Structure formats: C-alpha cells, structure tokens
Amino acid sequence: MTLVAILSGAGISTDSGIPDYRGPQGLWRKDPEAEKLVTYDFYMSDPEIRRRSWQMRRTSASWKAEPNAAHRAVAGLERSGTAVRVLTQNVDGLHQLAGLSARKVVELHGTAREVVCTRCHARSSMEQALSRVEAGEADPPCAVCGGILKSATVMFGERLDPRVLAEAMAITKACQVFVAVGTTLQVQPAASLAGIAVEHGARLFVVNADPTPYDELAEETIREPIGTALPALLERLSAGEGP
C-alpha cells in the first residue's frame, strides 16, 4: 500500500483564520517584538514577557478556529483507505479536529492545547491554565511544583523532541509520496524532510504560495490557494493518477 506523508505548515491553517508567521500579514512582520514571547530564554528570564505571552494565548485566534477544506481533505484521504501520516509544524490541533486519527499526526513543534511545567514536566490542558489567567493569575505557576508553566510547544531556542523527530524521519524514509503544504521549507530540521523523502525514492509535491528551496526536487509545484489545490491533489493521488 502506498504511504502518503504530508508535511503541513502554517499556510494550511490561514483559511481557518490563524495567521502565519513570516508571510505578508505574518505575526513576526507585524510585530517583531512578538517573537520574544515565544523565545525560550526571554520567556524564562522575564516575568513581563510571560504575562504578555499568557495574554497572547488568551486572545489567540486558534481557539475559535475550525478545520478548513484542506484539513478535511487530508482526513478524507485517510478515510478512503490510503495510508496517511501527517507531520505538522503547526500547534493548532486542526488536523485532529478534522477527524484524522491523533496517532497518525506527528506534531513536530508540539501542541498549543496543553501546557508543561519547565521544572517537573507535568502536563495539563491549556484550557485549565487560561481559566486561571481569566481568574486573575497573570503568570500561573505549576499546580504540582510551583515551577514556570509554558505552552507545550517548541519555542525558539528549544530543540525538537528527538523521539518525535525520529518518528517523523522514519515515516519520511518509508513513504512513497511526500506532500509539503503551506510551508516555506526553511525552518530546520523539518524542512530537510522533503529532501530526505526524495533521497529515499518518494515523489515530492509542493503546495505553497511562494517558492521553496526544494521546488527543483519536486515532481510538481502548485501555487494555487491551498483550500482548493490540496483537495484536488489528494483526490488525484487517491485515484492513483500522476500529476
């Protein structure tokens, strides 16, 4: 059976109302200072940065976001009987909300739906933490040990979980088709997966508004809007057709 690996980046979720980071309307372009809120050293050393980070999380567009046509198309590909694994750089959980089995989603950069203690590593729901913020705790400490809580996402300055990366690498080497969608393929090590897939014989498809460093390795690059382009591509792939 053909294994389809899908590497998804911020671009797949923009139709759901979640802005990307580096695009024309990206968060970092609009407010370069915002990058500090998700940079580990700043976050750990500055209580004011943490307070601002909690407020950013509280008002995040992702809490009201719903899966869009692209997320639903990926879940639909799995339901059609195709072997699918998603390697996502996103932390919004929308692939799972669209109906894709959680065990088939590898969250390379963690999840924004949980928090983790930086001291004892206890995990709990983001919803619980935000309810504490709403109740007046500007920087809620860990309920277990009193340590600093952070989103269970990989911040700038943190390494990816080696076990998560190893799982993504194994899927990449085993797949016959690798689709990179909504990602600039510039953030390592996730970006390198596209090249590794090709080295191991996979067909590469790139669906992204802007050129990527891996376009020349792709069997097909698609610049159309992701909400229509990805469903069409996955329909072709499930039917066993070429480009």
* Cis before 189? omega within 30: yes
| Integer Cα distance of 218 and 20 in angstroms | 23
Runs of H (alpha helix) within 59-185: 69-79, 94-97, 126-134, 162-174
200 is known as an active-site residue = no
> Exactly one of 71, 95, 109, 200 is catalytic; which is it?
109
| 6-7-9-14 Cα dihedral, nearest 10 degrees | -10
Residue 200: DSSP 8-state: T
SS3 state of residue 125? strand
E strands present in the chain: 3-8, 83-88, 105-107, 110-117, 123-125, 149-153, 177-181, 203-207, 220-222
Three-state secondary-structure class, residue 187: coil
Rounded CA Rg of the chain: 18
By annotation, the residues acting in catalysis are: 109
